[in-house]
Amino acid sequence: MEAYGDPIPKAGDSMTRVVVGMSGGVDSSVAAALLKEQGYDVVGIMLRLWAEPAAEGEDVEDARENACCSLESMSDARRVAAQLDIPFYVVNVAEPFRETIVDYFYDEYRAGRTPNPCLRCNRQIRFTLLLERALALGADYLATGHYVRVDDDPATGLRRLRRAVDTTKDQSYVLHVLSQYQLSHALFPLGTFSKPEVRAMAAERGLPVATKAESQEICFVAANDYRGFVRRYAEATGKPAPEAGPILDLSGRKLGAHSGLANYTVGQRKGLGISARAPLHVVRLDGARNAVVVGPAAALERETFTVHQTTWTSDIAPEGPIVVEIKVGYKAQPVRGLVTPLGDGRAEITLEQPIRAVTPGQAAVFYGGAAADEVLGGGLIE
């Protein structure tokens, strides 16, 4: 089977141009440094994304401090590029980012789902818009500081996406959406290193970001307050605000009222504002009824569920059921199960053991292959 693109370039191919997506953090900075040292023609690009605007009376820089493209981050990336003696550009994609990622984030939360905006950003912004810009600059590859590996399958010639060597930093979950075309133009220099090793390499090279703290927050949401963000975004854009509705038990009996589906998540126990003899958890967010459905902890356990918008790393869906390891969250432990394609981008998941808090809107990612560390595909939980 023919693979897209040329083989991954070998270290020292001095005529190979690589665009590095730089964020001003230690990971992308070290990725750029390693590629430059290996002889590649490196160009740094930072994307200027949409960030929540400052509130009235609030300092603009403080309001944007959370954004991955803050003025401080931009300055850090520029300093690193200057030290590495590589060109550096900033590309403004604020409006397509808002339309593609932010609107989606708002719509999903209001509908009672829990989105992962990084999945959508990686596919439609970073490895579409930025990749297009990289190719337009004459680059062969786009590199990022993600902890993940990519190589060619010796049996098929197809590009493989594999877990990072450091499983505590592995980011393959948020990159499972990449196609063969995107993977054929992707490089991930940090996939074989641990975070301490990357910080040590940054320090050895005197990079100014060696000790910079990393953010685990949603880049466009101020103070990581996503519940407040949904309300503020509705007010700023004129979109419908989250509406109050009933809290129901599993039989449909009303136990209380909620303040909007966006304020709750599957598995939540505290802050429900209801009393019961036994602890109750959010079992389901019912968008059709605008209802929060609660029940005992046992009701959170699931052995079967379906996914949609399924993607396969090979670009080819299997003809029948396959046994894989499945992760239903970025930090979740993989569980063995069966994936049965249903057509129309959907698949049924059957787990060998029940797990708790399978959350609609999050991804279920499938792992397997000869080394059991290969990303086979994934889909969004229905």
> How many other C-beta atoms lie within 10 A of the C-beta of residue 151?
14
Residues 296, 275: Cα–Cα separation, whole Å? 13
The sign of the CA dihedral 24, 28, 32, 34 is: positive
Phi and psi at residue 149, to the nearest 5°:
-120, 155
- Residues in the chain, total: 382
Residues 34, 15: Cα–Cα separation, whole Å? 16
Which is catalytic among the residues 68, 69, 118, 219? 219
Residues 7, 289: Cα–Cα separation, whole Å? 52
- Integer angstrom CA distances of residue 188 from 161, 219, 226: 10, 21, 30
Among this protein's residues, is 69 annotated catalytic?
no
Residues 183, 173: Cα–Cα separation, whole Å? 15
Residue written as token pair 């809107």: 361
Among this protein's residues, is 219 annotated catalytic?
yes
Phi and psi at residue 256, to the nearest 5°:
175, -160
> How many other C-beta atoms lie within 10 A of the C-beta of residue 14?
9
Which is catalytic among the residues 68, 69, 118, 121? 121
Residues 303, 305: Cα–Cα separation, whole Å? 7
- Integer angstrom CA distances of residue 333 from 3, 12, 62: 31, 38, 36
Q: For 132-190, give the DSSP string.
A: HHHHHTT-SEEE---SEEEEE-TTT--EEEEE-SSTTT--GGGGTT--HHHHHTEE-TT
Angle at 276 between CA 272 and CA 279, to 5 degrees: 70
Residues 359, 181: Cα–Cα separation, whole Å? 30
Residues 364, 377: Cα–Cα separation, whole Å? 9
Residues 381, 215: Cα–Cα separation, whole Å? 26
Catalytic residue positions, numbered: 121, 219
